[in-house]
Amino acid sequence: MQIIDKEEYIQQLSIDCVIFGYQNNHLKVLVPKLVFEGDFWALPGGFTYQHEGIDQAARRILESRTGIRDIYLEQFWAFGDTGRSNQKIIEKLMEMNEGKPEEQQLRQQDLEWVTRRFISIGYYALVDINKVVPQKADIDESIGWYDIGQLPPMIMDHKDIVSKALDTLRLNLDEKLIAFNLLPETFTMKEVQELYETIYDKPFARNNFQKKILDLNVLERLDKKYTGAANKAPYLYRFRE
């Protein structure tokens, strides 16, 4: 079970992806749980081939975990402090994986590579959560969406990486008009507002929000959406660039 061929990758450089999704008024992040015993979660990540750009690498990793293409993706920060290799977790991994001499040795090889000191480049992605079919990697036991307020305990500084990704998302949301990447093809104004309220964790005034969004001139008004509710039917909108 050779997971990683050291030679073809750039050494000590990793890519970590913060994949944002949105569902039921909750902002979520796609996080795999590692196969190693002991309940470790880690951001979807990987390495860069020698003849591959880092943006390409990030996109390859992203597509392999989501099963879809044409995703909004952007670099946001490089993490390179010492102490990122988190010796405590390594020791715990070593310890907890004792007692399986054959498999153990092979894992040891992987562990040596994985647990070296890495500089990691963080990318964040915005996806329509309904289109994604989360894909486990070899190193994963499972993979799932976690509410950004209730993340599982993650290795190293991965929690900080998510935090920095959220900061960047908030900074870029209005500037780059990227919120719509988190919504389905068509949506109501209320859904846009709830998305904004979720991301910024604060309320917006209904009428002013509508005016602000429509003044951007990036939404196309479609038919009304009849829900069967006893009230005026809201318009559906579609994002157009």
Partner DNA sequence: ACAAAAGTGTTTGTGTTACACCCATGC
Partner DNA sequence: GCATGGGTGTAACACAAACACTTTTGT
In angstroms, give the least distance from the CB of 173 to DNA: 14
In angstroms, give the least distance from the CB of 114 to its own copies: 16
Give the footprint of its own copies on this chain (CB under 8 A): 10-13, 48, 50-56, 75, 77-78, 80-82, 117, 119, 121
Q: Pick one of DNA, its own copies, none as the site partner of residue 87 (Cβ within 5 to 8 A by kind).
A: none
Helix, strand or coil for residue 55? helix
Q: Among 195, 232, 221, which residue's Cα sits nearest to residue 26? A: 195
Task: Kindly give the residue spans of alpha helices, DSSP state H, lying in 145-188.
Answer: 158-176
Nearer of residues 155 and 179 to DNA, judged by Cβ: 179
In angstroms, give the least distance from the CB of 207 to DNA: 3
Nearer of residues 166 and 189 to DNA, judged by Cβ: 189
Residues ≥6 apart with Cβ < 8 Å to 34 = 40, 41, 42, 139, 140, 141, 155
Q: Pick one of DNA, its own copies, none as the site partner of residue 55 (Cβ within 5 to 8 A by kind).
A: its own copies
Q: Among 57, 48, 16, which residue's Cα sits nearest to residue 163? A: 16
Hey, which residues does 120 pair with through a beta bridge? 14, 79
Cβ atoms of 123 and 57 closer than 8 Å: no
Give the footprint of DNA on this chain (CB under 7 A): 188-190, 205-208, 210-212, 215, 224, 226, 228-235
In angstroms, give the least distance from the CB of 212 to its own copies: 21
Instruction: Determine what percent of the chain falls in helix, strand and coil, rounding each to the nearest 5.
Output: 35, 30, 35
Q: Pick one of its own copies, DNA, none as the site partner of residue 208 (Cβ within 5 to 8 A by kind).
A: DNA
